[in-house]
Structure 1
């Protein structure tokens, strides 16, 4: 078997110029295309905020906390925090196991208004077996700063299967209500920071140039992952600027990387990956590349048409890489 790859022409002996077998090595070429800025970057500082609280789920029909669990020091303190009587008499009155003490959590988006509904999660703190169908009594939700940002109440659904080991949890769809407006500080400053999902100096410069052109602002890369946008003197608010930037198209740059999946028979290569001059021979397969080099995709296409299997293709790639003819990195999956 002989395969000859030259500068512009690929020559193969007639015996190899045939349709590849059904299980031939598949080649995918993820050519970089223009992508929307909203798909490759995000504004820094626009993070969700975690809220926590504690509450009581009632109406559990025997699947709630036992009186022994409720009488523990931790649970006694928890009941006191909820403003409930934690004395022995009150605890003994809960032997029906229809009550469970739970932790209540929620996540606030970066910008939220008073009255907005949010989803709520509950998790048993004691030895409750199931929270499904129970009713969470109104519970206050506080932020990391100790301030109250909302309250939660409602019927618990989607609790964990009591037959399975693990935490007993549940969910209350739109069971929380925001009581205090929250705006991220990042939206009140005259400078925005954009964070790239995949750090790259060239891409950061492209983003800065594209934003400067579209918004007529001063934008500059701060690092391979951050771009600063200065809105001073433009009359644009951060929200207005973000709205105009979202659909800006940028073609991301990237390092030369070849991803090899031995199991599925897929090689993912970039369209810009070129092989330098080299002469490789492996088990009768000869790859002869001229001084000006050829795209890696052309070599892989030729190997596939020649009927080379996955192991042979990987061996050729590794040989080219070791010889210094294949730039970048090879990643195996």
Structure 2
């Protein structure tokens, strides 16, 4: 029981860091375009995450049973705990440097790294088709759809004055930010719920991978609390350092990113990165004005963080598992 409680505690700690690390995903564009005040945007993001978490069962199933194969044992719980430590460590490191990396891929990387260190089975087919391919394709989808949405807006409002168009889309961003927050809850709360259910199965407290109602509520509340604390370091990167957004660009980026999250969550059950999708959508929407408007140097730093997230979190988790196995 003690080991299970430690793993659940680590899962909630990861969820909290996920909240303040990824809150920028939902609100950075709305805050940077002054569509919403920071306090209003944070409250909206927290509520959206809370509600969206109840619609992510498919993603939770993928994380809980489609990445690694474990047998019921205390050692298996140690492995899950090590995976969470690796993910938390990478979240905190990238948050400190203001890099929008993926909490999702940090978690899955941690699971794979700990499993390899512990000699457990990694379901590589599931990792490839449910994680790696969506991880690669979703940023391209975000960039392309963001650009298409922005070009459509530019054509549809070509005869409107820029000031009037800005006012309309500043109001519309309230909706697109709420959509983005809901999609974030569908994705990121679900991943933690999958880990908690996996821990319950490994500890022998349940047989199947259904999610208990208390797990829904606890995860959603902790994610919302983490989101409400903000995440200004990463928010500055997404909202200002990549490109100076205007309200139509912000709306195009948020709405298309939310659409990608919905398809991946409800349609495919694929644990994709909200960070990758919204960042790419911002670049796509911004590049329609002129390619030089996007600060590609900052974008390259972000892509580097994206690429290194999976192996870095895996290494941290593997090291944690080996250290625990050696001294405990």
| Bin of the TM-score, shorter chain as denominator length | under 0.3
Higher helix share: 2
Larger radius of gyration: 1
TM-score in terms of structure 1 length: 0.21
Q: Which has the higher strand share?
A: 1
The normalised TM-score by structure 2 is 0.21
